[in-house]
Amino acid sequence: MVRGVTLVAVVGAFILLGCSRKAEPTPRPGRDAAAPAKKPLRVLWTSDSKFGKVFVVSDGGLRVLRFGRATNEDQSAFDPRRPDHEPLEYVRMALLGFAFTRKPRRVLMVGLGGGSFLRHARRWAPRAIFEAVEINPVVVKACRKWFGFERAGQVSVHVTDGRRFVKKHLASKTRYDLVFLDAYDAVDYPRHLGTREFFGEVRRILAPGGVAVANLSPNAVAMRDALVRTFGEALAPAVCFFAPMAGNTVMVGGPGVARVAPAALGARIKVLDRHTGRRYHLQQHATDRCPFTAEEAPILADPRPEPVAPPKKAPPKKAPPKKK
């Protein structure tokens, strides 16, 4: 057990290995039958932004969102021929978060990407209020144009920093039944979105029985373990799922996890799988867990503000000489 972190083992074990996120090139047995034939990469659209270049490419028959270079890792993937199919394993796995909260009324996504999670989540929560936060307006434009985002229904998209948005809502009465955090890249991530203080702020905007779900995909083991331990401490009790094909780690934490008995979770996942037409293979993904330890990893915290030196006192003014 991680020191200072409650990890709930539910029907199986947990695992943590090296992480990345690529659309599955070949189907897993019994999961992604009829995968599109491999086709050469073709750039469909690109645009500069103050955060770097944004690409939409056609790769293997899929529309794929990538940052920096056309050949970098997949941020989102969409099959226009099968819009109800989800090529990225971690997105399907993140939908398990709905097994820990009953009929969510309000859902927030931090890090929009191609909006895949909300597009699929609409099947389970057709009447819920959906909001998304994305700091890069070019990503929002790509999402709306290329990734079937209209299938998510009405979504309020806020172009701002994720933490700034969360802080703003701490003072309001708005609370979320599910918050999905998808801002952690394989190479790096915004450090202010990976601290104990930030995850604590996310916990405070959760509704009673709400959960936070995070896709943690850093390739560096030390970075990954630190994020996992920090998330688990701030959002205990926490459950960890592992995407075996891509290597992503999907964490689910918050008060909603404590409310679901281990014996009831399997039944909830079965209902969720059946309700969504079994297209996401949730019962199979729920078994993708193995034990891990992160007690040696540091807890990530906000940097302490530099002490401000007191202003120097001005020397006393000399009295003007007396006139004789």
**pLDDT tens across the length of the chain (324 residues):** 333 444 443 333 333 333 345 555 434 333 343 444 567 899 999 999 999 999 999 999 999 999 999 999 999 999 999 999 999 999 999 999 999 998 899 999 999 999 999 999 999 999 999 999 999 999 999 999 999 999 999 999 999 999 999 999 999 999 999 999 999 987 789 999 999 999 999 999 999 999 999 998 766 788 888 999 999 999 999 999 988 888 888 999 999 999 999 889 999 999 998 888 788 889 989 988 744 567 788 999 999 887 777 777 777 777 677 665
CA dist 129 → 39, 154, 157, 226, 308 (Å): 38, 8, 12, 32, 44
> Which burial class, exposed, middle or buried, applies to 298 when counting CB atoms under 10 A from its CB (0-12, 13-18, 19+)?
exposed
Q: Does domain 88-285 have CATH number 3.40.50.150?
A: yes
Q: Tokens standing for 145?
A: 């144009």
Count Cβ atoms below 10 Å from residue 127 Cβ, excluding itself: 9
